Amino acid sequence: MKQSYHYLIVGGGIIGSSIAMALSEQGATKIGVVDCDLTGKWGSSERNAGGVRASWGTQVNIDLSKASIAFYESVSTEVGFQQKGYLWLYEASAWPQVLKRTDLQREAGLNVELLSPGMITQKFPFLDRLEDIHGATFSPQDGLINPNLLKEYYRSHTSGSKVDWIDHQVIESITVDAGVHSIQTREVQSESEVEAFLVSGALPDEQRLTRIKAKVLINAAGCWAPQLAEMYGKEIPSKPLRRQVVVMHCQALDLSDFGMMVDASGLYFHHEAGNILAGYAVSSEKPGYAFEYEGQDYFMKEIWPRLVKRSSGFERLKLIGGWAGLYAVSPDKSAIIGAVSGLDNVYEAHSFSGHGVMQSYAVGRGLAELILKGQYQSLDLGGLSGERFTQGDLIEETLDI
Ligand SMILES: Cc1cc2nc3c(=O)[nH]c(=O)nc-3n(C[C@H](O)[C@H](O)[C@H](O)COP(=O)(O)OP(=O)(O)OC[C@H]3O[C@@H](n4cnc5c(N)ncnc54)[C@H](O)[C@@H]3O)c2cc1C
């Protein structure tokens, strides 16, 4: 490990990795990425559902995903991107808002079809219980990606300049002296120390200290970004929220021809390597670094009843496994990206509220432009700056799951 960098990214998840690739592609040198666990065992990038869609309810979220999708299309084999579409089912009460959003999406150049219940059954014959469904949207260019392959793609495409991937270091403190950030880290030596830090905030042994200097610091620490921000005296208004997913086997149905399906209840599901992956956000979930997976109880209470309400094919399902991961949720469910106000050379990209994988490419490219060229060039992401929460200029995203 070098002791000094021009650009130091904290967090080597999908966002930090994308920023590293973009910085190097745009000509930056002396880039370091520091993480307490580069395998990302507890990070959100290894625990998500792999959904990719441009069909959002706000312009900037549409733009970020649309630009990212154009990139994923160009490397689809390497990152396992399959454009099999997103289907969203809606009850009648939601329909006026669906029509408004569809107008916005179509104006942004997206192909979004409106389906009646009869058309839904034609395209998705296994959905044979649609009595309470008024209609659906179907966006064929959306789909599913392999997040691990995408992260590895970013990490391995930094040929413009070598990036140092600094593993097993947690950030303990940050100080600024004459425009240079001095980052004190402690080494973690075991998986249990990583877990203790990321789940309970416990720092490893204070004997194992390192000091890294950086001219530019980038906070890409996912759900842990608020703790990092505290070290440079800033508050981030986001919260970590547990989200669980299950993997099931269904003998009666093969969903491999279909992409992501989102029920009117908020349940989502898709084919996953011969099985079915499904998730549902429980609204009573309390913020915190909670990773407990509730297995059969969660499946029986939240998943199976919602699936069986839509298809007789789901009457017999075998639960195979599942896991819990964290969403970093901002107050308006849109990401926080940009320069940190009031500080020189500190940038941030976090709080993706469940859409970090699908937007990662355009976020990395945009932030690298801002850092290296002083302004966004390909897409204006200025509205996503953290200052919007003090200025009251929120980007309320309503199409979250
Ligand atoms: C169940 C679930 C389903 C999801 N489904 C989707 C989906 O379908 N599509 C989609 O686009 N998104 C989805 N998401 C969201 C997506 O996974 C996240 O938005 C994205 O992974 C965020 O990436 P990140 O790099 O910001 O964070 P992370 O991957 O969490 O990376 C942050 C890294 O920072 C490191 N770190 C933090 N603090 C420190 C510190 N002080 N010192 C050293 N290292 C530190 C951590 O070890 C971690 O590796 C889902 C998330 C979950 C949990």
CATH code at position 30? 3.50.50.60
Question: Residue 17 domain-assigned?
Answer: yes
CA of 151 to the centre of ligand 1 (A): 11
264 by DSSP, 3-state: which?
coil
Q: Whose CA is nearest to atom 22 of ligand 1?
A: 356
Confidence of residue 117 (pLDDT cuts 50, 70, 90): very high
Residues 173 and 118 in one domain: no
Question: Residue 75 domain-assigned?
Answer: no
Written as six digits, the tokens of 124 are 């998705």
What is the per-residue pLDDT for 204? 85
Instruction: Read off the pLDDT of residues 310-357 as tens digits, 9 standing for 90 and up.
Output: 999 999 999 999 999 999 999 999 999 999 999 999 999 999 999 999
Give the end of a domain, one of 329, 344, 371. Answer: 329
Q: Whose CA is nearest to atom 50 of ligand 1?
A: 48
Residues 17 and 158 in one domain: yes
Residues 102 and 211 in one domain: no
Q: How many domains does the chain have?
A: 2
Residues 14 and 36 in one domain: yes
Classify 345 in phi/psi space as left (phi over 0), alpha (psi -120 to 50) or beta.
left
Mean pLDDT of the region 48-76: 97
d(CA 96, CA 252): 35
Residues 135 and 154 in one domain: no
Residues 305 and 364 in one domain: no
Instruction: Read off the pLDDT of residues 25-45 as tens digits, 9 standing for 90 and up.
Output: 999 999 999 999 999 999 999
What is the per-residue pLDDT for 227? 97
Question: Residue 124 domain-assigned?
Answer: yes
What is the per-residue pLDDT for 161? 72
Ligand 1 atom nearest residue 242's Cα: 53
What is the per-residue pLDDT for 310? 97
Give Cβ neighbours of residue 395 (< 8 Å, ≥ 6 apart): 58, 60, 61, 332, 334, 383, 384, 388
What is the per-residue pLDDT for 1? 57
Give the end of a domain, one of 329, 349, 367. Answer: 329
Residues 300 and 338 in one domain: no
DSSP string, 15-64: HHHHHHHHHHHTT--SEEEE-S-TT-SSSGGGSS--EE----SSHHHHHH
What is the per-residue pLDDT for 40? 96
Residues 322 and 346 in one domain: no
Closest by Cα among 162, 150, 161 to 74? 150
Residues 116 and 170 in one domain: no
Ligand 1, pocket-test mutation among 37, 39, 42, 45, most atoms within 8 A of CB = 45
Q: Is pLDDT of 279 > 90?
A: yes
Question: Residue 54 domain-assigned?
Answer: no
Q: What percent of the chain clears pLDDT 70, i.e. is strictly above it?
A: 99
What is the per-residue pLDDT for 2? 60
Question: Residue 198 domain-assigned?
Answer: yes
Q: Is pLDDT of 115 > 60?
A: yes
Q: Whose CA is nearest to atom 15 of ligand 1?
A: 354
Residues 170 and 132 in one domain: no
Question: Residue 366 domain-assigned?
Answer: yes
Residues 352 and 293 in one domain: no
d(CA 219, CA 223): 11
Q: Which residues line ligand 1 (CB under 6 A)?
A: 10-16, 34-37, 40, 43-45, 47-51, 170-171, 198, 220-224, 228, 243, 245, 279, 325-327, 350, 352, 354-358
CATH number for position 325: 3.30.9.10
Question: Residue 251 domain-assigned?
Answer: yes
What is the per-residue pLDDT for 100? 96
Instruction: Read off the pLDDT of residues 197-216 as tens digits, 9 standing for 90 and up.
Output: 999 999 887 777 889 999 99
Question: Residue 244 domain-assigned?
Answer: yes
Mean pLDDT of the region 89-116: 97
Confidence of residue 266 (pLDDT cuts 50, 70, 90): very high
Residues 325 and 337 in one domain: no
* Structural domain boundaries, residue 380: 4-47+148-237+332-391
Give the end of a domain, one of 329, 349, 364. Answer: 329
